[in-house]
Structure 1
Amino acid sequence: MEPIRWGVLGAAKFARDQMARAIHAAEGAEFAALATSSPEKAAGFRAFAPGIRVHESYDALLADPEIDAVYIPLPNHLHVEWTIRALEAGKHVLCEKPIAMAEGQFDDLVAARDASGKLAAEAYMIVHHPQWQRAKALYEEGAIGKLVLVDTVFSYDNRADPGNIRNKVETGGGSLHDIGVYTFGAARFVTGEEPEALSARLRRENGVEVFAHVTGDFPSFRYSSVTSMRMFPRQYVTFHGEKGVMRLSCPFNANVFDQAELSVETAGFTVRTERFPGVNHYVLQVENFCRAVREGAAYPCPLEFSRGTQRMIDMVLAAE
């Protein structure tokens, strides 16, 4: 079976270091083209994929008949526009998170996806990782009893890089859009529930939200999260039930922040720990995407799921 031929719109550092390499490594995928006008940036991609074609514009790549799917790592505020343009050009689309900046934008995304008959999805890689598949299965099996509280933190510090797109209002910056998608989406993915009410304490610098403490209620449990771009790096998720606690100590940046581990503590201080060394969730994401395109397999993160996470972000911003 012929591989899905991928193009990348833009020579972003994350694309060079992670996603383009994942496409290059994934079974059933071929990293075939890059859109950038910079020979220097193209060289970084050709270092591991010397055979790629380089287009000097995004439109030229979208017009390439040899490309089946595109990955979009552009700044947040450009995601909706270029996802729709790629779909209209007949390409499948995997777009970096957040794929939109407000829930209402999903109306146009879903309409463009349905009209094109192509797959369009947010690059929400964690749901492809076996630690999250396992966490969901354990929760549904009742491993920790009735869930009482989900508690999660994701932080890093990029104050030394004021020019970073995450630190700019005009490019859709802020911790909620950058990493809130993980703290919010993780709770939604495992439990299948949606928030009923949320409150928030936010802190801004130059108009950009850099700290968010969010609390609220889901139908059957209490929720608390902290996201920040001004704190020492930390990440964890805890699902605290009446009969046990399930912890993920490296839930979001497996193999970068730490090794992925999932532990379940139950009566008698019995702790079972499962480890997932060497798993690359970016590669799994590409392989699942290609499988969905070729075989019509269900994709773990459809636009409808991403829309629910954006709705939650909108609720927090409205509650400020």
Structure 2
Amino acid sequence: MATIKWGIISTAKIAREHVIPGIQQGQYSEIYAIASREKESAVNVAEQLSIPVAYGSYEELLADPAVQAVYNPLPNHLHVEWSIKAAEAGKHVLCEKPLGVDAQDAEKLVNVCRERGVLLMEAFMYRTHPQWVMAKEYVTSGKIGELKAIQVFFSYMNRDPNNIRNRGDLAGSGGLMDIGCYPVSLSRFIFGVEPRRVMALVNRDPEMKTDIFSSAILEFERGHATFTCSTQLMPYQRVNILGTEGRFEIEIPFNAPENRSTNVYYFSSDGAETRQIAPCHQYQIEVDLFSKAILDGTALPTPPEDAVANMRVLDALFRSEKSQNWETV
């Protein structure tokens, strides 16, 4: 069976612990090379994870003709720069979210990939998990009646000023960009349309200057989505999708574990149902679907234009922070 040879630019934690194992378990994917700005780091990770080739620079990996696709888990402000370089080297690109630091940044990358004839996808792995496939089916089939509201909470605790997420001097840092992009994405995914306007209430760390506690309202034509995200609260995540005839709740919506089952809940006038989702590796599913799109021309789970649309909502939320008012998307 044909497979796609993947190269990883960076030894980031998410690559080491999730995406590389997902590639290694893939049906249409194989891990071929990894690169770091420090050769020793790349060599160490390659040895630990049985990766055949290690490079001491991203440029060397991109110059390797054996690499067909690249996964980019670099810090947010480097997503567009290095993804463009990968596209210019003829590599297909799976880039971590958010795709850019704003919609204009993301659109620049989308245009380059289109011109170069390579596939590009934002790595919102949650969308490929069976629990989200089920959630979408419950909504589109009318099982919850008319969709009216989505409620999301997503938080973790990280006060380390040296952590890249807390670097106020770097574009793309802060809670909204790191985890607020998830409720924006899922709300658009479940409603199936773009929000008309948004409003945000944002608290920033007085020293790091990053947004650490944010709440938002997204107004859609037929309902509302609300969410709160924080980088300085007890870790917690939950999603509720509410309609006129039912409610669908996802217990672990984003960081679904790979080694145990997860639960989703359906509530209606007939009572409550618990649906257990068998253990699966959402990163493996994501990478395999991307690889299959390269091999067979099948559709991507999410087109690159979706990433630009998501950034437009985030841009509007940041404008709302400043204006203290509703902002159109």
Query: Equivalences for 1:62-81 in 2 at 5 Å?
Result: 62-81=62-81
- The 2-side partners of 1:57 and 1:248 are apart by 41
Contact 1:132 1:190 in 2 (8 A): no
How far apart are residue 153 of structure 1 and its match?
A: 0.5
Contact 2:155 2:233 in 1 (8 A): yes
Which residue number in structure 2 is paired with residue 56 of structure 1?
Answer: 56
Contact 2:258 2:279 in 1 (8 A): no
How far apart are residue 168 of structure 1 and its match?
A: 0.7
How far apart are residue 45 of structure 1 and its match?
A: 3.5
Which residue number in structure 1 is paired with residue 215 of structure 2?
Answer: 213
Q: Per-residue CA shift, 1:130-160, capped at 9, x if unaligned? A: 111111011001111112211101000111x
How far apart are residue 172 of structure 1 and its match?
A: 2.1
Q: Give the residue type in structure 2 aligned to 1:208.
A: T
Q: Give the residue type in structure 1 aligned to 2:255.
A: N
DSSP-derived class of the 1:279 partner: coil
How far apart are residue 177 of structure 1 and its match?
A: 0.7
Query: Equivalences for 1:271-286 in 2 at 5 Å?
Result: 271-286=272-287
The structure 1 residue matched to 2:267, chosen from 265, 268, 274, is 265
- The 2-side partners of 1:258 and 1:146 are apart by 32
- The 2-side partners of 1:258 and 1:233 are apart by 19
DSSP-derived class of the 2:310 partner: helix
Which residue number in structure 2 is paired with residue 146 of structure 1?
Answer: 146
Query: Equivalences for 1:28-43 in 2 at 5 Å?
Result: 28-36=28-36, 37-43=38-44
Contact 2:260 2:279 in 1 (8 A): no
Question: TM-score with structure 2 length normalisation?
Answer: 0.93
Matched, 1:240 2:226: no
How far apart are residue 171 of structure 1 and its match?
A: 5.0
- The 1-side partners of 2:107 and 2:149 are apart by 32
Q: Give the residue type in structure 2 aligned to 1:117.
A: G
Matched, 1:297 2:310: no
Which residue number in structure 2 is paired with residue 288 of structure 1?
Answer: 289
CA RMSD of aligned residues (A): 1.5
- The 1-side partners of 2:260 and 2:217 are apart by 27
DSSP-derived class of the 2:137 partner: helix
Query: Equivalences for 1:126-205 in 2 at 5 Å?
Result: 126-159=126-159, 161-169=160-168, 170=170, 172-205=172-205
DSSP-derived class of the 1:263 partner: strand
Contact 2:101 2:171 in 1 (8 A): no
Contact 1:136 1:191 in 2 (8 A): no
DSSP-derived class of the 1:7 partner: strand
Query: Equivalences for 1:80-91 in 2 at 5 Å?
Result: 80-91=80-91
- The 2-side partners of 1:198 and 1:168 are apart by 26
How far apart are residue 2 of structure 1 and its match?
A: 2.9
Contact 1:75 1:171 in 2 (8 A): no
Q: Give the residue type in structure 2 aligned to 1:55.
A: Y
Give the gaps of 5 or more residues in structure 2. Answer: 322-329
- The 1-side partners of 2:274 and 2:17 are apart by 30
Q: Give the residue type in structure 2 aligned to 1:162.
A: P
Matched, 1:251 2:263: no
How far apart are residue 41 of structure 1 and its match?
A: 4.9
Contact 2:97 2:122 in 1 (8 A): yes
Contact 2:40 2:56 in 1 (8 A): no
Q: Matched residue pairs, number?
A: 317
- The 1-side partners of 2:163 and 2:261 are apart by 27
Give the gaps of 5 or more residues in structure 1. Answer: none
- The 1-side partners of 2:176 and 2:278 are apart by 28
- The 1-side partners of 2:154 and 2:125 are apart by 15
Q: Given the superposition, is the C-alpha separation of residues 300 and 164 from structure 1 closer, same or farther in structure 2, using an over 3 Å criterion?
A: same
- The 1-side partners of 2:153 and 2:229 are apart by 6
- The 1-side partners of 2:106 and 2:268 are apart by 41
